[in-house]
Chain A
Amino acid sequence: MLASLVATWSGVVAGALAPGIAQGGLDYLPQLLNYLANGLVFSAIIVLGGIGLSLVYSIADFANFAHGDTMTIGAYAGLVTLGAVGTAGPTLFALPLGFYAALLAGIAVAAVVAVATHYLIYEPLDTDSIGLLITSIGVAFVYRALIQIQFGTGYTVYDVPTLRPIPWIEDLTGVTLTEHEVAIVLVASVLVAALHVVLQYTTLGRTMRATADNEALAKVSGIRTERVITSMWVIGAGLAGAGGVFLGLYNQLSPRMGFNLLLVVFAAVILGGIGSVYGAMLGGVVIGMVNRLTPVLTDFGIPIEPAYANAIAFVIMVLVLLVRPTGIAGEGVS
């Protein structure tokens, strides 16, 4: 079913673009490829954020508004680590090994903070999923406030050199893609593949799926759902932390970076089917692509500026909620 939906989607894209290609001819192709490549990189970040949001929704059963700020925490943990480790030594994809240490630190710190938040704040609450949702807004503000007090409200960047696009790709296709961007997509793919293996082929994955499906039944079957929930926070927040570090590398860092991205991630997760991990991946790719393909509209004379890229994602989100609230992947795929 997924395959057919993907096929439909690519059909829609091709259909929408066909007149444009006819108009602009082959001249427009490199430009379009550029948007797509850019979209792929952005998608990777959205997918990393979306998986955690979807996991929390399916296992802890609430819409976590602190998830965007969990990404911010990962990004700033990476910033501190990169400052401490330094950028000396060998490089991989033009990124110093220190950056990979920063990535690991971002994953670890985000995971630890999320687990601590779960035990200190969410766990003692005597409330329903709406109460948890409202509480998570408070948690989001506390995360962001602490980052602002420590680092200020301004923008900052990782201390890695900005790169020129990889020459041979540019010569061959006209696509400007830096080694950093390639690294983002590759590492994100590895993380997602690892998650797939964990979910499908390990005991942890089976217990997670069982808990998401029916927590009470999982419990009487002897699954320690407390541990499952802790693992869920580690995985979800860890991936968000990685997404935050990549977002910082792709754009720059600011205390609002995660909160600003949160609704786009929500749009992706809802499009894919909230609560479904694979839906979140698919939704993340679609929303990330749509977001970066927005300039195509102005290129073809439709007066919707790229500044409305997020607005388009939000409108898609509302339309999905209206027409098919279970999203593309529907129920039970997680």
Chain B
Amino acid sequence: MPDDHDENGADAVDDGDGSTRSAFEGGEDTSQERIETATNVVLAVAALGLLGGAMVGLISPAYLVFLVSLAGMYALLSLGLNVQWGYAGLINFSVAAFFGIGAYVPVLLSATGSPITDSVPPVAGVFVAVIVTVVLALAIGIPTLSLREDYLAIASLGLAEVVRLVFRNQENWTGGTSGVGGIPLFFDGVPVLDTLPRDIGTVDVGFYTLGFQFWNSLLNAAIVGAFVLGSFLVLRRMHRSPWGRVLRTIRSDEELAEALGKNTYAFRMQAFVLGSVVAMLAGVYYAYSNYYLTPDIFDPIYTFYAWIAVILGGSGSNRGALLGGVVIVAIVEGTRAIGDVAFSLDLVVTQLDVAFTLGASFRLLAIGLLIILVMRFRPQGVLPPRDELIWPGARGGEADE
């Protein structure tokens, strides 16, 4: 496919100021197919390695399920950010605020430790969380979305910090820094699913005995899987719709979009709200896979996890966002393992908390280096979007190749 880079819409549209290249423009990229093959091979080897490890008793099935769920959670964060940055070019640094809202709102309505109430079933709480997310997205978006892009970055980070400070300090509503305990299962109050993990009982499989914990985390994985699949399909459809085309036009040339009579502010707002709702769903999984929730969930680091996932995967590419989610899990769990191994082998560290800190430091180092390396060597990401501006079928025979 010698013409591959010509089909990359970002190139075709944004030829104006050839001297600089922004993160979502593709470069001369004839080796894209090889990179995609390599990515698939690496992912397949990693998956087989994990499965193989589980088969021979090295990795517990519960941990495997946990890893997959975690990848789904980060994929949701990056899918949401991808709508905002990848589609619409919004530099949104407030992802963590919506991640936190998705966790806190249903929990504050359903947990026994909640200062508000524990009477609302979590499933219903998610709908309340959607409403709160839309309201908060409007509250953050209305003042900031008309700002110049770098101001938007600073202002959205600032407002996300305001949200974090409110959740830390309003103890009468949120339990403050000590957090909220007594979080029920996600399907609490729903017939059958409520008691399903308990009803299955224990099953012996080879090295392992699969009990309540395993079935429950499998159910949580199914929840996050459903969120990811649903978001992915909806977002793919929207990306290819006229709405998605307008957003891509805004991203590459806002004045052109305005000249065509599009209300760019409204489109950006819609992208901001939609992306925030998707990121919020990640918070729902986070809350119900833990017993306890603290304001640490508002840490800006989650915003930057989502950013590195999107940039690495390829801005504007939903496949890339999924890949980014997997890479973040590899970094988060891999660096945790560094600390654990150092501790168990008695290397350098002899205390568990020091080992934990060491893992966290290496995680930060890995994330930082990854951001720098991607921006230096592959600013368009590993899996940049294909078929940017046109529906695949519109090119006739070529799409079938």
Contact = CB atoms under 8 A, between A and B. Distances in A.
Contact of B371 (A134, A263, A266, A308): A134
B150 interface: yes
Contacts of A146: 365
A321 interface: yes
A130 interface: yes
B361 A131 contact: no
Interface secondary structure of A, over-half rule: helix
Contact of A142 (B150, B155, B161, B365): B365
Interface stretch (A41-49, A71-79, A198-206, A311-319): A311-319
Contact of B158 (A128, A134, A308, A318): A318
B198 interface: no
Interface in A19-70: 62-63
Interface stretch (B51-59, B201-209, B272-280, B352-360): B352-360
Contacts of B358: 149
Given A121-B376, A127-B375, A148-B357, A263 B158 contact: yes
Nearest to A316: B158
Contacts of A266: 154, 158
A88 to B, nearest CB: 32
B158 A314 contact: yes
Contact of B368 (A141, A310, A314): A141
B365 A63 contact: no
Contacts of B365: 141-142, 145-146, 149
A149 B150 CA distance: 31
A130 B149 contact: yes
A145 B360 CA distance: 8
Interface secondary structure of B, over-half rule: helix
B145 to A, nearest CB: 11
A131 B23 contact: yes
A129 B150 contact: yes
Nearest to B20: A128
Nearest to B149: A130
Given A127-B20, A308-B165, A153 B372 contact: no
Interface string B138-175: 00000110011111011101110110011011000000
A149 B304 contact: no
A315 B149 CA distance: 18
Interface size class of B (residues with CB under 8 A): 35 or more
B68 interface: no
Interface string A290-322: 000000000000000101101100110110011
B153 A63 contact: yes
Contacts of B379: 126-127, 131
Nearest to B156: A318
Given A144-B364, A149-B365, A131 B357 contact: no
Nearest to A309: B165
A139 interface: yes
A267 interface: yes
B250 interface: no
Interface in A111-155: 121, 124-131, 133-135, 137-146, 148-149, 152-153
Contacts of B376: 121, 124-125, 135
B375 A263 contact: no
A153 B91 CA distance: 29
Contacts of B148: 325
A139 B368 CA distance: 6
B143 A318 contact: yes
A307 B368 contact: no
Contact of B311 (A124, A134, A318): A134
Given A127-B379, A134-B307, A153-B357, A145 B368 contact: yes
Contacts of A133: 91, 150, 153
A128 B144 CA distance: 21
Contact of A311 (B149, B154, B165, B369): B165
A251 B368 CA distance: 27
B321 interface: no
A155 to B, nearest CB: 13
B13 to A, nearest CB: 15
B150 A152 contact: no
B289 to A, nearest CB: 25
B168 A314 contact: no
A289 interface: no
Given A130-B91, A310-B165, A153 B154 contact: no
A134 B304 CA distance: 10
A240 interface: no
A270 interface: yes
A131 to B, nearest CB: 5
Contacts of A62: 150
Given A134-B23, A263-B158, A314-B158, A153 B168 contact: no
B21 A126 contact: yes
27 contacts: A121-B372, A125-B375, A125-B376, A126-B21, A127-B23, A130-B91, A130-B149, A130-B150, A131-B22, A133-B150, A133-B153, A134-B307, A135-B371, A137-B304, A138-B367, A138-B368, A142-B372, A144-B364, A145-B364, A148-B360, A149-B365, A266-B158, A270-B151, A305-B169, A311-B161, A314-B161, A315-B162
